[in-house]
């Protein structure tokens, strides 16, 4: 495996692990503050939206490339 391939693979693996850890932190914050179901949903919506946007960006970029043939 070459260096570039390893770096690309580790980028996805480590960033995914960081995103999972951040989701755990949000869950723990909701549990510690006794937020209830609605508060937990609001925390995940508010704080987790940036995680979703970060994950959706490459997917949207790929779809745009495929749709319009941009390289």
Q: What is the pLDDT of residue 70?
A: 67
Domain count, the chain: 1
Q: Is the pLDDT of residue 62 over 80?
A: yes
Predicted TM-score (pTM) of this structure: 0.69
48-58 pLDDT per residue, tens:
888 788 878 88
Please say whether the beta carbons of 30 and 43 come within 8 A: yes
14-50 pLDDT per residue, tens:
988 998 999 999 999 999 999 999 999 999 999 888 8
Tokens of 50: 């940036």
Which residue range forms the structural domain that includes residue 34?
3-68
Please say whether the beta carbons of 27 and 40 come within 8 A: yes
Q: What is the pLDDT of residue 53?
A: 84
């Amino acid at each position: 495996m070459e260096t570039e391939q390893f770096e690309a693979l580790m980028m996805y693996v480590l960033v995914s692990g960081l995103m999972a850890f951040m989701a755990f932190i949000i869950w723990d914050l909701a549990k510690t503050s006794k937020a209830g179901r609605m508060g937990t949903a609001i925390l995940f919506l508010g704080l987790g939206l940036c995680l979703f946007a970060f994950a959706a960006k490459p997917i949207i970029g790929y779809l745009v490339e495929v749709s319009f043939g941009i390289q």
